Amino acid sequence: MALSEEVKNNIFSKLKKALEDCCPPMVIVKQSDMGMELMGNKPVPYGYSKKMVPGMYFSSAVVRKDMISFYFFPIYGNVEAFSGLAPTLFKSLKGKTCFNFKKAEQVDEKELAALLNKGVEVWIKMGYMKD
């Protein structure tokens, strides 16, 4: 069942505001009414060939027909470090890095801010960003 435009807009606006609050130091790569993507602010080697990319992918929000998806890459392989920060959000975690929201109350803004702030710290510690 498709979400109403009102619910989509409510969820996406919460995610968008939280992502914007990370900039700087994060960099907005893409932004539209249908999504937003952030990456680190430092060129880093990526992949098997260690090809230099302008910044390491950090997070994005995407408006879909029946949900809003929020991708948060710093938790990949490190879920334990983040789960205590956002118990409400983690109920919507599907897979390793994707949160799927269908109701506005699933997005706790304080938990989201804590999750993103911890992610920025992790990206700085891993050398993916200048602080």
As a whole number, mean pLDDT of residues 6-27 equals: 92
Q: In three state form, how does the secondary structure of the chain look?
A: CCCCHHHHHHHHHHHHHHHHCCCCCCEEEEEECCEEEEECCCCEEECCCCEEECCCEEEEEEECCCCEEEEEHHHCCCHHHHHCCCHHHHCCEECCCEEEECCHHHCCHHHHHHHHHHHHHHHHHCCCCCC
- pLDDT tens-digit series, residues 29-63: 998 989 999 999 988 888 888 888 888 999 999 99
Please tell me the predicted confidence (pLDDT) of residue 39. 93
Model-wide pTM > 0.75: yes
Please tell me the predicted confidence (pLDDT) of residue 79. 75
Q: Which domains does the chain have, with CATH numbers?
A: 5-125 (3.90.1150)
- pLDDT tens-digit series, residues 95-111: 889 999 999 999 999 99
